[in-house]
């Protein structure tokens, strides 16, 4: 309607002006007839053009609407499958432009993460059940033996019962510590500390365990910076890292606890062992709860599978980060803790 009104108002005047410029003279009746002919031709052409445009617009709109609808339907169907627990569902690229491709990629990345979380959750529950089953089975067996009179309530029995209950208590405390740290509820008492003091304290605490296994613990300190840390919590961090290194390093080899400054903004603490090493596919999971590269060996050696998770949570609570690196199986491993320098 707008196009028709504008054309009707403007078109005849422009046509009449061109006739005058061309010097074409007509009688009044002829001029009126010519203008009416021009107006009719213009309106008919305009209506045909508008009809063609509308039909073309409807066709294009229908085509793209169908494509968008199929893409949205695919996303909705995949979302419904994910909502029911089928995290393997993925959305193909709709080919409608960068924004839609980004939407599909983001959705698939979300599905991948949910799938990984579900796998980790299932493994965590299975490992948690296993960790609890062993001490609980020990407690049940010894209590039953006491009831049947097979065992006496002597010091050896007390030691076994106490060891099993302590293992359960330690497991509960570790899980609680991780939860508090990840939720930001862990109390951190920051004190300006010389990194040398942290390294020396960690070495002293672990000295007897290393000597008993025949593994050398070497210190390497190369920084004069100061870090703000909770000394008790950082002692727990280095204790976990050194215990992990000791557990996977055979007798006669060496574990190094090093410290160095980076760009006057960070201090790195490195625990490097010369033991079993970590295969590349396991490096991104070593800080996951209850994750083990070799479940059977880790359980036999006494690892609960949550020490490195606690370590990461504590380091991040200090505003730092931790990473793991290894050339491969049998070539040792390196854990790097990075903490900000005081005042940086």
The 10s digit of each residue's pLDDT in 7-38 is 767 766 676 676 666 666 656 666 666 667 77
Residue 101 belongs to some domain of the structure:
no
Segment (H or E) for 157: helix 155-182
List the beta strands (DSSP E) in 171-237.
191-193, 216-222, 227-229
Q: What is the pLDDT of residue 127?
A: 67
Whether 301 and 220 share a structural domain? yes
Residues 331 and 236 in one domain: yes
**Dihedral sign for Cα atoms in the order 97, 103, 106, 110:** negative
Residue with tokens 């296993």: 130
Q: Give the chain's residues under pLDDT 50.
A: 295-303
Beta strands in 205-305 (DSSP E): 216-222, 227-229, 254-262, 266-273
| Cα gap 280→162, rounded to integer Å | 39
Residues whose CB falls within 8 Å of the CB of residue 222, separated by 6 or more in sequence, listed in order: 258, 259, 260, 261
Residue 188 confidence (pLDDT): 80
Say if residue 168 is in the same domain as residue 236: no
Based on the domain organization, do 125 and 10 belong to the same domain?
no
Q: pTM of the predicted model, to two decimals?
A: 0.55
Same domain, yes or no, for 195 and 332?
yes
Residue 184 confidence (pLDDT):
65
Same domain, 141 and 227: no
Query: Tokens 């930001």 sit at which residue?
Result: 184
Pairing state of beta strands 216-222 and 254-262? parallel
Shared-domain flag, residues 165 and 238: no
pLDDT score recorded for residue 295: 44
Of the three residues 131, 156, 182, the one that is the final residue of a domain is 182
Contacting residues for 199 by C-beta, under 8 A, at least 6 apart: 219, 221, 238, 257, 259, 269
157 and 241 assigned to the same domain: no
Q: Supply the DSSP string of 160-188, one letter for each residue.
A: HHHHHHHHHHHHHHHHHHHHHHHTT----
Residue with tokens 């910076």: 225
Whether residue 246 sits in one domain with residue 168: no
Residues spanned by the domain of 296: 191-340
pLDDT of residue 300: 44
List, for residues 257-271, the tens digit of each pLDDT value.
Answer: 999 988 888 999 999
């Amino acid at each position: 309607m707008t196009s028709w009104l504008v054309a009707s108002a403007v078109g005849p005047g422009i046509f009449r002006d061109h006739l005058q410029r061309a010097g074409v003279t007509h009688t009044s009746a002829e001029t009126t007839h010519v203008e009416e002919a021009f107006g009719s031709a213009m309106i008919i052409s305009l209506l045909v053009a508008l009809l063609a445009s509308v039909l073309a617009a409807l066709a294009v709109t229908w085509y793209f609407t169908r494509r968008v609808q199929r893409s949205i339907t695919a996303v909705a169907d995949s979302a419904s499958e994910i909502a029911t627990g089928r995290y393997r569902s993925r959305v193909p690229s709709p080919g409608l432009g960068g924004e839609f491709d980004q939407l599909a990629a983001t959705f698939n990345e979300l599905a991948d993460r949910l799938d990984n979380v579900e796998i980790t959750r299932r493994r965590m529950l299975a490992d948690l059940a296993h960790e609890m089953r062993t001490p609980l089975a020990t407690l049940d067996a010894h209590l039953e033996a006491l009831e049947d009179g097979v065992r006496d309530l002597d010091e050896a029995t007390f030691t076994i019962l106490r060891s099993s209950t302590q293992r359960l208590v330690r497991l509960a405390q570790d899980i609680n510590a991780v939860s508090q740290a990840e939720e930001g509820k862990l109390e951190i008492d920051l004190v300006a500390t010389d990194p040398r003091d942290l390294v020396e304290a960690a070495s002293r605490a672990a000295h007897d365990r290393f000597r008993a296994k025949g593994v050398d613990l070497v210190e390497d300190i190369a920084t004069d910076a100061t870090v703000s840390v909770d000394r008790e919590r950082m002692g727990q961090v280095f204790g976990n890292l050194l215990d992990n290194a000791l557990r996977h390093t055979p007798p006669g080899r060496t574990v190094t606890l090093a410290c160095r400054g980076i760009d006057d903004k960070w201090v790195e603490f490195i625990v490097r062992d010369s033991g079993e090493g970590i295969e590349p596919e396991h490096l991104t999971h070593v800080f996951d709860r209850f994750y083990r590269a070799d479940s059977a060996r880790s359980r036999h050696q006494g690892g609960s599978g949550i020490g490195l998770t606690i370590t990461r949570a504590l380091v991040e609570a200090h505003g730092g980060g931790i990473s793991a690196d290894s050339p491969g199986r049998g070539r040792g491993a390196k854990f790097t803790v990075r903490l900000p320098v005081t005042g940086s």
